[in-house]
Structure 1
Amino acid sequence: MSVVCRKALPEDVDALYELIQGYAAKGIMLPRSREALMRSIDTFVVAQDGERLIGCGSLCRLGSDLVEIRSLGIVDGYKGHGIGSRLVDVLMEEAKALGIPKVMALTYESAFFQKNGFKIVDKEIFPEKVWTDCVNCPKQLCCDEIAVLRLTEPVPAGERLSFAQI
């Protein structure tokens, strides 16, 4: 297996759509239309094995200092090989290059994100997310996802992260 992570291209839309729809059908990812994927293709990174798209993830800007990792998924048969972690690394580097210090996600896989340096936090500290997406979500009043956060720059040893920094 020789997996390459790269920026998504318009010709990836159909494969992205199929991958995301598989997760959406299980109720663990929000669906995205082909049109929405095409409009936001520049926010996606993909993992590719040969000619096959096997994973994806995107960054959604929620504010001047906050982005969300969303639509992070791996094709069955490729899970457990570090591909998701590689995609997260690429997305973290992208956030850092954009000068965005905070990266969050809403997930059912908190252990995966914790393994990748994220901390579990209260969803309520992300009003940007609530007013951008959650307001239209069918699970708005009974959300069972877990919020996680990671800073693009590590907090120096001995320093504590204040609520204002989050």
Structure 2
Amino acid sequence: MTITCRKANPTDVDALHELIQGYAAKGIMLPRSREALLRHIDSFFVAEEGGMLIGCGSLFRLGADLVEIRSLGMAEGYKGKGLGTMIVNALIEEARAMKTPKVMALTYAVDFFLKNGFKVVDKEIFPEKVWTDCVHCSKRHACDEIAVVRVLNESVPS
């Protein structure tokens, strides 16, 4: 079957919620309520195969020159098959369309992001992220995620 990547729509909310909650239960992704997913559905891209949602990712604006990749995940059996890169590429193109020069993520999958053109940076350079989400996170005083950034506009320092 062919895997396609597209903008999410409201009919994807239940499948998105199920996928994200699976990661959240393992402590590797923040949970998202169905209501929050519906409110932010236009920020999500999904991958599907045969009508089944098998991956997702979203962009969240943190400032005029910065967006964050959030909720990047895929169904069991799809890791290592290029699906994550397909979704990240769609998100990067969306960031370019938004004329946003920098894309960041907090991740445990550092090697994946390095292979996709990101570099590791000190997470403290993103106060927008700290004050948006980290202040509410149970790991805020002992965060073990790694910050990565990809600069889309080379005239902007990283």
TM over 0.5: yes
Identify unmatched segments of 5+ residues in structure 1: 156-160
Give the secondary structure class of the aligned counterpart of 1:139. coil
- Cα RMSD of the aligned pairs, angstroms, is 1.0
Unaligned residue ranges in structure 2 (runs of 5+): none
Shift of 1:50: 1.1
Q: TM-score, normalised by structure 1?
A: 0.93
Q: Distance in 2 between matches of 1:26 and 1:10?
A: 25
TM-score normalised over the length of structure 2: 0.98
Larger radius of gyration: 1
- The superposition leaves residues 85-143 of structure 1 with CA deviations (integer Å, 9 ceiling, x where unpaired) of 00000000000010000000000000000000000000000000000000111000000
Runs of 4+ in 1 over 2 A off after TM superposition: none
Aligned position for 1:146: 146
Corresponding residue number in structure 2 for 1:77 = 77
Q: State the alpha-carbon separation in 2 of the partners of residues 71 and 65 from structure 1.
A: 20
Letter in 1 for 2:139: K
Write the distance in 1 (CA, Å) between the matches of 2:150 and 2:6.
Answer: 22
- Percent identical across equivalent pairs? 68
Residues 47-93 of structure 1 show CA distances to partners (whole Å, capped at 9, x for unaligned) of 00011000000000000000000000010011111010000000000
CA distance in 2, matches of 1:137, 1:78: 28
Partner of 1:92: 92
Distance in 2, Cα, partners of 1:10 & 1:60: 18
Partner of 2:46: 46
